[in-house]
Structure 1
Amino acid sequence: MVWKFKRRLRCADWKRQVLYYIGVAFSLILVWNIVVINLHFDSVESEIYIDAGGTSRRKHGTQRSETNVFHVSKIPFARTGLRYAFESRLRKLLEIMEIDLDNNVANVVTENVLTYDTYFPDRQLYCDDVMNITNMTFIASGWTKAVYKGVFRDIPVAIKTVDVKGQDVTTCMNEGNTETTCFVKAAKKIVKEIVVLQALTGQNVLKVLGFCLPRDTDDNLWVAMVTELGEAVDLIKLLQMSWEDRLRISMDVTAIVNMMSETPYGSLAMNDFRRQQFVLVNGVLKLSDVDDIGFRDLPCTRNSDCHVDFASMNFTQISECVHGRCVELNEKRNIFNAGRHFVIYLLPHGAPPRLQPIVEEIVAGYTYISMTSEQLLAKITSLKQLYQSGWYLNRTEYATRNASYKRLTETDMPGFYDYLCRLSVAMATCTVSVYDQIEAEDLCNQDDHCRAFVMVTQKTWTGRTVVHFKNTVGSLRTNTNTTLFVKPS
C-alpha cells in the first residue's frame, strides 16, 4: 500500500508536488506553534489548591516563579488570543484563592498545595509579619473594607481588612446568612484586590507588600492585605495645589486610563470610578481600590449594542463591534470618568496663558471623548515638556538677569517676612516654582509686596526651582542651600 502511494506521488505533476510540500511545511509550523503556546501558558488546571503562604516564610521556602502570570508587557489588540489566555490564568488564580478560603471555612484540609510565592515573587510580608505590625491606627472604612495604618520595620504601611460592621457584611447577615459566610463573601473582594493590584503593577498602581490568608484549619480566619501607605485624595486639597502639581495629577490619571485600556488581561473597566479609588503616595496618584474592576469589553452582535449614554453631557458614544466585543468601550467610559473627576476641573485653572490652548484641547478630549487614552497621554506629556522647558515664557530673545538685584549666597530669612500671594503652593508663605532666576525676578517686579526672594536648591517634580518671596529684608541667617536676591529700591 505504501509503495503504491509513493508511486502515485512520483507520477504527479510538479505543481502537485509543490502543493504537497507546502502543506507538510504548514502542518509542521502549526504543530510547532501549538507546542510553544502550551509551553508558554502551562495550564493551571492541575493546581487543585494553592497555599495561602502560611504563617512564616521559613515554613514554605522560596519557590520559582515559572508560573507567574504577572509582569507581562502590553499585548497588541491583534493578538487577542494571548490576551484572553493571560486573563484566563488570572481568573483561575483568583478562583483557586477563593476556593482555598472557602475550604478553610468548611474545615477542609488542603493537599497538593503550591505556595503563593510562585505567583507573587515580590511578596515581602507574610501572616506572622502582618501580626507584628505596630502602631495600628484606624484610617477609614467603606462598604466592605476597613483601612488601618501601621509601622513595619520602621516603614509606614496600610492594612486593608474586612469591616465586620460594614454595610456589605451587615446587609448579607440581614438576609439570613451567617457571620462567617458574610465575612468570606466580603473577604473575596480583598482577595481580588491582592491579585489584580499585583497584576497591574506600575508607577501609578499601589504597591502590595504582602498579605495574609488563612492557610489551614489551625489558622485564624483573618484576611488582610498590606500596601504602601497613601494619602486620601481630597477635593479641597486638590484645588489648593499649584498648577504644576495639578498637572502631575492629571498626567497620572491619564497614564492609569491608558494602562487600563490595553493590559495583558484585556481592556479593564472601572465600574466605580471615583476619587476614593485612588491615593497619593509622595505626590504620585495611584490606583488603590480595584475590587469593582471588570475584565474584557462588553459582548455584542452589532455596533448598535456598543453604545453608552453620558447623561451629564447629553451625548452618546458608539463603539465598533469586533469579534463579538465592543472595542474601546471600556476605554471611553474610563476617559469620561477620569475627566469628570479629575482633569476637567484640575487642569484649566492657573495654566500659563501660552499653554491654555493645549489645555483646552486636552479638556475637550476628555469631555467629548474625541481622543484615545494614548493620544491624551501624548498630548499631556507634550504639555508637561513645554512647561518644563520654559517655552510658556515666550521669550523672543535671550533674556538676561537683572544686574541691579543684590545677590547674597548662602543666606536665608527663615520664618521671617513671609506673606500670602495668589499662586503660592503654601498656606502661610508666598512660595512658587520658577523656570530660572529671570522668571523669579519678573514675578518679584510685578508684585508690589515683594522686596526680596530666596532661591533654594530644592526642585519640584518637573525640575523647577522653589522660590520664597519676602516683603522685607532682615534677620539674615546662614544657609548653604539658599541664595537671597534683594530687589533694588
Structure 2
Amino acid sequence: MFWKFKRRFRIGMLRSGFYYCCVVICLILVMNLLALKLNFETIEGENYIDAGGTTLPSERKLQNIDVHYPFFNDLNPNMFVSRQGLRHTYENRLRKLLEIMETNLDNSAAKIVTEKTLPYEAYFPERLLYCDDVMNITDMTYMASGWTKAVFKGTFKGRQVAVKTVDVNGQDVTTCRDAGRSETDCYVKAAKKIVKEIVVLQALANDNVLKVLGFCLPRDADDNLYVAMVTELGESVDLIKLLQMSWEDRLRICLDITKIVAMMSETPYGSMSMNDFRRQQFVLVDGVLKLSDVDDSGFDDSHCASPRDCDVKFSSTNFSQRSRCIRGRCIEYNEKKNIYNAGRHFVTFLLPHGAPHTLRPIISEILDGYKNLTMTSKRLLVVMKRLTRLYESGWYLNRTSPAKYTSSYKMVDNTDMPGFHDYRCRMSVSMATCTWSAYDVREAEDVCSADDECKAFVVAPYKTWTGRTVVHFKNGVGSLAHNPNTTLYVKPGL
C-alpha cells in the first residue's frame, strides 16, 4: 500500500510540474507579445523627420531628435516579423546619418568625427561616392530648387550626375531663421529631409526609383563641405513635354507610374504614402519614369476607430471612397490615394489621346480603375501589361486575313534622304520631322497611304522600347544618299 501511494504521489508531482512549466512558458510568451506590440505601437504615423518644414524650436531639440521610421504592421505574422527586421536596419541607417550630421555641425561637439572613421560600409554598402568624390564633381550647373532643396547638374568621371543639397535661401530655411532659430539649427532641420531621401531611395531600390550614387556629410561646423546627395541625372516631368510625346512613349509613362503605384502599395516596409503626390516628385531617366522626391512620404496606414475614419477624400474633385478599417488601421487607404493621384496627374490625360482604336475598350477599363478606384494597383498593373503586350504584338492592327501581303510600294535598299523632304505631322516623335514607330513595313505603308502629303518613307535601323521600327515619312523623293542601314519605300505612282 505504501509503495502504491508513493508511486501515485510521484506521478502526481510529475504531472503538476509539467503543468506549471507549461503555465510559465505561456506567461513568458504572452509577456513577449505584449512587449512587441507596445514597441510597434510607438512607431506610427508619418516619418518624424519633419517633412513639413515649419517645426518650432520648442517642438524639436537639436541634440535630441526623435527618429522614427514607421512601418506598416501587416496582418500576416510572418510578414510582420520580416518587416520588424527591415525596420530595425533602416532605422539604424537613418539614425546613424542624423547623429553624424548633428554631431559634426553642432558647435558644442567635443569630438569631431572624420569621414574615414565612420562605419559607412556597415550601414551603406551601396554607397559609391564619398565627400572627396562629391567635391570633385565638375561643371556644376543649377537646375531647379524647391521649398527645401536645390538641384545641380554636374560631371563625375565623364558621367553626368545630379546633386541635391540644402537651398540656404529657400523657403524652409528662411522661415526657420525668421522664427529665431540659429543658422546651424535651420540648416540641420532642412538637411534632415535630404538624409531621409538618402535612406528611403536606397531602401526602395528599384528600376523605377532614382538611384543614389553617394552622399556627403560635413565633418565639423567649420568644414566647407555640405550635406549633399548624388544621384543619376534625370529630366523634369513637364506637362507640355508629356503631351507632345508619341502615344507609345506616353504608354511607357503610364506603365511606369502603374509599376510605381503597385510598388508603393506593398513595399517590404509597408504601404507607402505620398503626402504631396505631384509630377514634380518624378523624373525621366532615358525615357523611364522614376520616383525621385520622397522627403514627404511615410510607411504607415491611417488609424481608425470606425469605418468612416477610412474615407479617402479628394476635395478638388468632390470624390471619395471608403477603405476598410481593420484592427485600428485603414487598409488600402494609401494605395487608393496613390492610384487616384497617379491617374489624375498622369494616366487619364496621357493614355487615351492618340491610342489605336482597337485598344480603346481596354484603355477605358484602365481609366475607370484610376478614376473610380475600381481596381487594386496589382490588378491595374496586370491590365496595363496586357495593353502593352497587345500593342507590342501588333494585335491592335486587327489583321484577320491570313493571306500573304503584297506591297505596292517601290523598295530601294541602302538608300536615305537625310535632311530632305521632311515635314511635320501629328503624333510625331520629333518636332521637326514626321517620325513614327511602326509594327512592320505594312503598317508604315498604311500610314503613308492615308496621308496625302506623304510620298515616301525611310525605314531606320532603330527600335523603340517596345521593339517597333522607327520610320521617317517624306513629302517628296529626291537627293538620294547611300546608307547601308536604311531602306527607302516610294509611294505607287511616283
Short-chain TM bin: 0.7 to 0.9
8 A Cα contact 2:140 2:155, kept in partner: yes
Asked if 1:80 corresponds to 2:57, the answer is no
Q: Among residues 219, 224, 227, which one is paired with 2:228 in the alignment?
A: 224
How many angstroms apart in 2 are the aligned matches of 1:403 and 1:333?
A: 51
In the TM superposition, what whole-angstrom CA distance separates every residue of 1:221-272 from its partner, at most 9, and x where no partner exists?
Answer: 5100000010010000000000000000001011011111111111110111
Q: Which amino acid aligns with 2:292?
A: S
Q: SS state of the match for residue 344, structure 1?
A: helix
Kindly tell me: are residues 196 and 9 of structure 1, through their superposed partners in 2, closer, same or farther at Cα, counting changes over 3 Å? Answer: farther
2:273 is matched with which residue? 269
**TM-score for both structures, normalised by structure 2:** 0.83
Q: Pick one of 399, 420, 424 that aligns with 2:424.
A: 420
Write the deviation string for residues 395-433 of structure 1: whole angstroms up to 9, x where unpaired. Answer: 102254443311111110011001111221111111101
Partner of 2:367: 363
Distance 1:397 1:105, change over 3 A: same
Contact kept, 8 Å, 2:421 with 2:474, in 1: the verdict is yes
**Matched residues in 1 for 2:345 and 2:189: separation?**
30
Equivalence for 2:170? 166
8 Å contact kept, 1:9–1:17 = no
What's 1:58 paired with? none
Preserved contact between residue 162 and residue 232 of structure 2 (Cα < 8 Å): yes
8 Å CA contact retained: 2:105, 2:218: no
* Residue of 391, 397, 414 corresponding to 2:395: 391
Alpha-carbon distance between aligned partners in 1 of 2:7 and 2:351, rounded to the nearest angstrom: 78
Q: Are residue 242 (structure 1) and residue 246 (structure 2) matched?
A: yes
Residue 256 to residue 196, structure 1, CA distance change in 2 (3 Å): same
Q: Does 1:344 align with 2:322?
A: no
1:283-315 Cα deviation digits (max 9, x unpaired): 000011110011211122332221121223323
1:312 aligned onto 2:316: yes
In structure 1, what is the Cα distance between the partners aligned to 2:478 and 2:336? 57
Q: Note if contact 1:401-1:437 (Cα within 8 Å) is conserved in structure 2.
A: no
Question: CA offset at residue 445 of structure 1?
Answer: 1.2
> What SS does the aligned partner of 1:137 have?
strand
Amino-acid identity (%): 62
1:149 match: secondary structure = strand
Q: How many residues are paired up? A: 444
Specify every segment of 5 or more residues in structure 2 that has no aligned partner in the other structure, as ranges: 31-68
Counterpart for residue 45 of structure 2? none
Q: Which moved more, 1:392-401 or 1:382-391?
A: 392-401
Letter of the aligned partner of 1:95 in structure 2? R
Whole-Å Cα distance in 2 between the matches of residues 389 and 172 of structure 1? 56
| Counterpart-to-counterpart distance in 2, 1:293 and 1:137 | 28
SS in 2 for 1:482: strand
CA contact 2:215–2:229 (8 Å) conserved in 1: yes
CA distance in 2, matches of 1:179, 1:399: 77
Cα distance change of structure 1 residues 10 and 345 upon mapping to structure 2, 3 Å threshold: farther
Does residue 90 of structure 1 match 2:90?
yes
Q: Report whether the alignment pairs 1:124 with 2:128.
A: yes
Deviation sequence 1:410-468 (CA, Å, 0-9, x none): 11001100111122111111110111111111111111111111001100000000101
Task: State the shift of 1:82 in Å.
Answer: 2.5
Q: 1:193 to 1:452 in 2, by over 3 A?
A: same
Aligned to 2:189: 185
Gaps of 5+ in 1: 31-68
Given the superposition, is the C-alpha separation of residues 448 and 103 from structure 1 closer, same or farther in structure 2, using an over 3 Å criterion?
Answer: same
Structure 2 CA distance, aligned partners of 1:339 and 1:80? 31
1:156 corresponds in structure 2 to 160
Secondary structure of 2:143's counterpart equals: strand
Q: What does residue 378 of structure 1 align with?
A: 382
* Equivalent in 255, 259, 276 of residue 259 of structure 2: 255
How far residue 92 of structure 1 moved from its aligned partner, in angstroms, is 3.5
What amino acid is aligned across from residue 332 of structure 2 in structure 1? E
- Find the counterpart in structure 2 of residue 485 from structure 1: 489
Q: Distance in 2 between matches of 1:453 and 1:11?
A: 97
**Amino acid in structure 1 at the alignment position of 2:96:** I
- Cα offsets for 1:199-218 (capped at 9, x unmatched): 01110000111100124567
Letter in 1 for 2:462: Q
Deviations along 1:131-176, whole A, 9 cap, x unmatched? 0001000011110001000100000000000000000000000001
